[in-house]
Structure 1
Amino acid sequence: MASGGDILRSESGTWIKAFTRKIGIATNFVAELWAFRDGLNMCLNMQISALEIDLDAKVVADLMHNAETLKNDNAAIVSDCRLLLSQFPQVKVSHCYCEANWCADALARLGCSHVPNFMFLNSPPPCILNAFLSDLYGLSQMRLCPISNVSGSF
């Protein structure tokens, strides 16, 4: 099961608006594209003219900088995202590490647990407040990664 979420912040990092979405069965890549497109639509509906986007999905950020046309199942949503991006007078898309994007990840996880398939949030819900504050103040988070026991010569 996949879900998505995104947050719109002011230039000082304060919460403006966010959303969570239940996507259904999809790959991480497709979920990132859906969340990206939903975030762009939210900003266009709010008539935002200047936008700086930090994505923790490097492949999506790279696709938005690459004009190459895709010839696969994801071509339509990538094309939608590029078209939406072109409607902003000022826009910058950058990659950031997921450790700097805890709030968006928390919103995405929240999307799986919500009854409505899509929900706007005008303030941070208590269950993601710590993630929001960590991002706001630039606090680093520990990320545990499994260690594999590989033997052999290098």
Structure 2
Amino acid sequence: MRAGAGCIIRDHEGRWLDGCCRNIRICNSLAAELWALLDGLRLAWSRGYKDLEVQVDCLVALKLVQHNNDLANASSSIVRRIHNLLDEDWRVTITHVYREGNQCADFLATFALNLEEGLHLLQEPPRAMHFLLHADAVGEGRVRMCPVSSD
């Protein structure tokens, strides 16, 4: 399946600092999530950020990284690279958020599909992304539809 990865680095008030996206071309969704995490960590490290709160919307990717689960899968080299970065001298906390809370990164992943294959560093957000950044800044969210039990 065609896949892209995206990450955004924000300050403590939610303002855009940096971002990147990658046109991976073809891979599964777990590998795309891991690429986004790896690219985001690399970008943050290269910019000198030393205290990060990372939010991911893929619970499986989070568990692979946090618990070093079964690295004998196709994503093992990416997970190893993530672990190597996490071992550097900085504070990184990785937490799970629902997809609705990660709209900007998802936008960048989709945006990447229209770019050449590979990593693209973004000093400014794409113009079409401004409405999402604004919605996040003012606390507007999307409703998550959850099934209601009939019990």
Letter in 1 for 2:29: N
Count residues in correspondence.
147
Larger C-alpha radius of gyration, 1 or 2?
A: 1
In structure 2, distance between residues paired with 1:117 and 1:73: 19
Aligned to 1:102: 103
SS of 2:142's partner is coil
Asked whether the equivalents of residues 100 and 138 of structure 1 are also in contact (C-alpha less than 8 Å), the reply is no
Asked whether the equivalents of residues 23 and 31 of structure 1 are also in contact (C-alpha less than 8 Å), the reply is yes
| 2:21 is the alignment partner of 1:17 | no
Q: CA deviation at 1:89?
A: 2.0
Letter in 2 for 1:134: A
CA shift digits 1:33-69 (9 cap, x unpaired): 1111111110111111111101111111122220345
In structure 1, distance between residues paired with 2:133 and 2:117: 22
| 2:98 is the alignment partner of 1:80 | no
Task: Give aligned-pair identity as a percent.
Answer: 31
Q: CA deviation at 1:144?
A: 7.1
In structure 2, distance between residues paired with 1:62 and 1:133: 31
Aligned to 1:62: 63
Aligned to 1:5: 6
Asked whether the equivalents of residues 25 and 117 of structure 2 are also in contact (C-alpha less than 8 Å), the reply is no
Q: Which sections of structure 1, spanning at least 5 residues, go unmatched?
A: 148-154
Q: CA deviation at 1:117?
A: 3.0
Asked whether the equivalents of residues 6 and 18 of structure 1 are also in contact (C-alpha less than 8 Å), the reply is yes
TM-score normalised by length of structure 2:
0.88
Q: Which sections of structure 2, spanning at least 5 residues, go unmatched?
A: none
Instruction: Decide whether aligned partners of structure 1 residues 49 and 25 sit closer, same or farther in structure 2, where only a CA change above 3 A counts.
Output: same
SS of 1:23's partner is strand
Q: CA deviation at 1:137?
A: 2.4
Letter in 2 for 1:62: K
In structure 2, distance between residues paired with 1:25 and 1:76: 17
Letter in 2 for 1:102: Q
Asked whether the equivalents of residues 102 and 132 of structure 1 are also in contact (C-alpha less than 8 Å), the reply is no
Question: Where do 1:1-154 residues align within 5 Å?
Answer: 1-115=2-116, 117-142=118-143
CA-atom RMSD, angstroms? 2.0
With 59-68 and 28-37 compared, the bigger mean Cα shift is at 59-68
TM-score normalised by length of structure 1:
0.86
Letter in 1 for 2:14: G
